[in-house]
Amino acid sequence: MELNRRTVIAGAAAAGIAATALGSGTAEAATGSGGRKPVKESFGKLADGTKIYRWSLENGGTRLKVLNWGGVVQTLEIPDRRGHYANVSLGFDNIDDYVAKTPYFGALIGRYGNRIAKGQFTLDGKSYQLSVNDGVNSLHGGTQGFDKHVWDVEPFVKGSDVGLVLHYTSVDGEMGYPGTLKTKVTYTLTRRGEWIIDYEATTDKATVVNLTSHVYWNLAGEGSGTIEDHELTIAAGKYTPTDSGLIPTGELATVRGTPFDFRETKTIGRDIRAGHVQQVQAKGFDHNWALDKGITAKPEHVATLRDPRSGRTLKIATDQPGLQFYSGNFLDGTLTGTGGRTYRQGDALCLETQHFPDSPNHANFPSTVLRPGQVYRTRTVHTFDA
């Protein structure tokens, strides 16, 4: 007899399954109304002696492990159609690899997710030079982006929800960005097993900001092989073509008649080797889809990813105007993950909710400017099923 996700979750709740702490570190746990407080344990130290911790959360059948290093989602476990759990997020089992090797596995990205051409932009008549770390361009905030800092973490239980509130303050001039940016990101697991990310930021000087999460998904389980048989739908009739440096040209091109058309569900592998010039440049898919809905007051469903073998399904809702679909093109077999297996090209994919890449240099793109007195606020909702 096959079990659907609702049956699995109900069984787990009846059995009183709690968050599991791994390793020999000291654990802190407390119960509260409607849920269990996240469990904290040691995850090693940085070279300077700074302690790194991991928090384990569980609710509604979803299990999440998060580091204070970069807000990293180290593992995310969900059941398949038979109730069998697997970690569906790529990551490492030690802090040293996250510091030295990671291609942003599971990390919070800022101040600016994606690329800014030549690390340069002009705001209110003043030019800024950012840290460059992707050839001549700036990628994901520069050499020391938000993914490479220790965040302050506060666990919470609120009614039937459990989660973490993460704080990081980026000082004026960090990586070349103007203004002191105070950032708060909240990870929430709901009783239905949804994983919600709420981003919030304020500044004391006009700046640009574009925060996102860089989870690498493989719904068959990390280290299980290619995601080319995963089925994907993206609610977008246009995308932003790029130059050879993966910087948007400024064009909003139709997906019709191209490999970039995911308006109807299709496997990722069906057109990934179609030979389109944009795919050749990116070694696959690594582009921003301009979502049909644009910017919305509340999150709306924009993408569905499904692994037909396990039945695991991920639905993403966002209020943002863009979605970066990256097909794991630069995984090259040199990284070994949490399950002891190596990650090769196409072994995972990213679906990053965002404003468009290089928006500060394209007047026709939605603005990413944040000014004093304003609050940057956005939400992304991940819903799991099987």
Which residues have a catalytic role annotated?
A: 214, 352
d(CA 296, CA 214): 22
Q: Contact at 8 Å (CB) between 116 and 255?
A: no
Give residue for tokens 């299980």: 224
DSSP per-residue string spanning 95-140: HHHHHHT-SSTTEEE-SB-SEEGGGEEEETTEEEE----BTTBEET
d(CA 243, CA 240): 10
Query: What residues form DSSP beta bridges with 56?
Result: 39, 65
d(CA 104, CA 98): 8
d(CA 348, CA 222): 8
d(CA 64, CA 67): 10
Burial class of residue 359 in the structure, from the number of CB atoms within 10 Å of its CB (0-12 exposed, 13-18 middle, 19+ buried): buried
d(CA 170, CA 144): 11
Nearest CA to 254 among 286, 289, 284, 282?
A: 289
d(CA 306, CA 270): 15
Q: Contact at 8 Å (CB) between 327 and 283?
A: no
d(CA 380, CA 343): 26
